[in-house]
Structure 1
Amino acid sequence: MSLLSHVKYEHLVAGISGGVTSTVILHPLDVIKIRFAVNDGRLHKTPKYNGIINAFTTILHKEGVKGLYRGLTPNVWGAGSSWGLYFLFYNAIKTHMQKGDTDIQLPASTHLLAASEAGLMTLLITNPLWVVKTRLCLQFDTSTQAYNGMMDALVKIYKTDGVKGYYKGFIPGVFGVSHGAVQFMVYEEMKKYYSHYYNQPLSAKLGTIEYLTFAAISKLIAVSVTYPYQVVRARLQNQHYQYQGVLDCVKQTWRYEGWRGFYKGLGTNLIRVTPATMITFLTYENVSHLLLTYKSSQLIT
């Protein structure tokens, strides 16, 4: 069977549902994480915060609730489409590798390969949305805002930098595909061993606690291994500072901040992405199971 025969819209819908739900709930932490990540101590107009709570209260005081939700629209579009496409591509590739039988157990390396391929395909489509989200999140000076929303940012970035402006940070994003690959590999391996231990089919629905636990552990491992690329990517997308590419960004970060510079915003990121992943995966697993079960019942009747 061809790869296209394994594409199921249920995974797209379920992935979008999970991504949008977690993004709306936790977006303020994403704003704070990005501002921490781009602060290299050299650009004076970049706000400086003394911890997560100070950042939250300062933004709320100076910019209001709106400041905590800057970049929400492209973030919702980006997260929804990214998770939807990722789950769509990943499940199609994985099922193709299983030759259509979702209960066939695959080795960890195969899960890693499937997740990497899905990540690259998703990144090509969604990178422009992440550029816009980053720039909107970094509009900390309310008197000199460059963009009036997502569409305005898309138009102005194109006028200024052309199509290549939409793909700033793309190269570290490619390296970042390893993040999703590691996460999905760990998640799938835990599900596999759990199903094997309890002697149940690999495709069987698990409980809420299992999904939440596996999602949290897989995300913690993936973040710990791959976080530096997110800092480099955010800095390349920052409209307030210019680097001559990925290597220049890495060299300058190391020169002025040392290894700690590559982990700025990590604490905020962990506080945000861990519950976000738990919400996303739990929503995805339940919505996809519901849709696929409904589809099967319709085919039977």
Structure 2
Amino acid sequence: MAQEPELIDEFSIHEKRKRVLADFAAGTVGGILQTFVGHPLDTIKVRLQTQKIDAFGKGKYSGVIHCLRCTLREERIFGLYKGLLSPLTGLAFLNAILFTSYGYAKDFFTNYGEHELTAMQSMACGAFAGAAQCVIVCPMELIKTRLQAQYNYPTHTTPEYTGNIDCIKKTVKTRGVKGLYSGMYGCLIRELPAYAVCFPAFEVSQELFAKLEGRPKDEISPASVIIAGGIAGVACWTISYPQDIVLNRLRVQRVDEPPIYKTKMYDGGFWDCFWKLYRKEGLRGFTKGFSACAFRAFPANAASFYGYSITKDFLS
């Protein structure tokens, strides 16, 4: 009988490891699905956000549909998948970190499922997960955004970067490894509130569907999981979209030229960019491309959460 506590402890450690590995694997699958579903509209979103504005307040694209048509006409379907390699390799790992971090924090608060999360605890878990993924998301999105933002102007017909590796080499050569983490401050400002809203929105949506279907939350229909994931994605991007625009403006600065925005208190130029954007374009400057973002957020995050859920169920 004296060995029972040791057996219990060993079993507990084994179960904890299984939970972490299941979250990691399920998050990876969710990330792969999310990338293929959401990348084309993410490209449209980035191009609308980063297009150059002339003295009359006009850009190359008038909106989502116009940008889509121009991209397909000039670059065909491949133009929508520019920069895919970076998020495809990174987002799978990124999602794995995100869901594993959330699962770890959730187990901490609920003592491994003994009770339900409160709303505040769910927000704290989401914020923790958002912060954890910034180490990967910051350089990954930097490369992706710079490649996506390349499109032909009459005066600029040669792409600055030939691909992911070339972009990484040029960034490191001109600004060092820390250049890959330019925008880290803004990344944290975006990710913490984004996932503090995203995961609670998913949890609440699941609970609502569970009541409507009259079954436990972890047994709701696939359609309900997909809709709940889509709702969570739209909520996530609605709260973080202005920060995303500022981040993308910072990221598409040419690496062979001095930074346009002044850094204050290690913010990487975030607030200087924010106020310059506001003075030049007003509040509208923070909503450019949002329709493409929202349209992308629903199916992309629906795919992510669904991929996570079915993989987690399979492994369990």
Q: One fold, TM greater than 0.5?
A: yes
Give the secondary-structure state (helix, strand or coil) at the position aligned to 1:8.
helix
Q: Deviations over 1:53-112 (max 9, x none)?
A: 2211211222233322111111212322221110111111111221122x5211011011
Report the counterpart of residue 76 of structure 2 in structure 1: 64
Q: 2:205 aligns with which of 190, 196, 205?
A: 190
Q: 1:259 aligns with which of 273, 283, 294?
A: 283
Q: 1:113 aligns with which of 117, 124, 127?
A: 124
Contact 1:195 1:201 in 2 (8 A): yes
Do structure 1's residue 248 and structure 2's residue 272 form an aligned pair?
yes
The higher radius of gyration belongs to 2
CA distance in structure 1 between the partners assigned to 2:84 and 2:59 by the alignment: 20
Q: Deviations over 1:256-284 (max 9, x none)?
A: 10011011110110111111111111111
Q: Deviations over 1:171-211 (max 9, x none)?
A: 22111121122010111123245546777555x33211211
Contact 2:213 2:220 in 1 (8 A): no
Q: Using the TM superposition, give the Cα deviation of residue 218 of structure 1 relative to its aligned residue in structure 2, in angstroms.
A: 2.4
Report the counterpart of residue 128 of structure 1 in structure 2: 139
CA distance in structure 1 between the partners assigned to 2:305 and 2:313 by the alignment: 12
CA distance in structure 2 between the partners assigned to 1:152 and 1:3 by the alignment: 43
Provide structure 1 residue ranges, at least 5 long, that are not aligned to the other structure.
293-301
CA distance in structure 2 between the partners assigned to 1:3 and 1:143 by the alignment: 56
Q: 1:34 aligns with which of 21, 26, 46?
A: 46
Do structure 1's residue 274 and structure 2's residue 301 form an aligned pair?
no
Contact 1:6 1:95 in 2 (8 A): no
Do structure 1's residue 148 and structure 2's residue 166 form an aligned pair?
no
Q: Using the TM superposition, give the Cα deviation of residue 164 of structure 1 relative to its aligned residue in structure 2, in angstroms.
A: 2.1
Contact 1:212 1:282 in 2 (8 A): yes
Runs of 4+ in 1 over 4 A off after TM superposition: 1-7, 193-202
Report the counterpart of residue 8 of structure 2 in structure 1: none
Report the counterpart of residue 235 of structure 1 in structure 2: 249
Do structure 1's residue 207 and structure 2's residue 221 form an aligned pair?
yes
Provide structure 2 residue ranges, at least 5 long, that are not aligned to the other structure.
1-12, 263-268
Q: Using the TM superposition, give the Cα deviation of residue 123 of structure 1 relative to its aligned residue in structure 2, in angstroms.
A: 0.7
Q: Deviations over 1:95-148 (max 9, x none)?
A: 1221122x5211011011111111111111331111000011012138422222
CA distance in structure 2 between the partners assigned to 1:77 and 1:133 by the alignment: 11
Do structure 1's residue 160 and structure 2's residue 174 form an aligned pair?
yes
CA distance in structure 2 between the partners assigned to 1:51 and 1:17 by the alignment: 32
**CA 1:99–1:139 in structure 2 vs 1: closer, same or farther (change >3 Å)?**
same
The more displaced of 138-147 and 152-161 is 138-147
TM-score normalised per structure 2 = 0.83
Report the counterpart of residue 53 of structure 1 in structure 2: 65
Q: 1:86 aligns with which of 80, 98, 107?
A: 98
Report the number of matched residues. Answer: 289
CA distance in structure 2 between the partners assigned to 1:160 and 1:38 by the alignment: 22
Report the counterpart of residue 20 of structure 2 in structure 1: 8
CA distance in structure 1 between the partners assigned to 2:209 and 2:70 by the alignment: 45
Contact 2:182 2:251 in 1 (8 A): yes
- Alpha-carbon RMSD: 2.6
Q: 1:171 aligns with which of 169, 173, 185?
A: 185
CA distance in structure 1 between the partners assigned to 2:59 and 2:80 by the alignment: 14
Q: Deviations over 1:228-267 (max 9, x none)?
A: 0110111110135832201111111111100110111101
Amino acid paired to 2:242? P
**CA 1:4–1:153 in structure 2 vs 1: closer, same or farther (change >3 Å)?**
farther
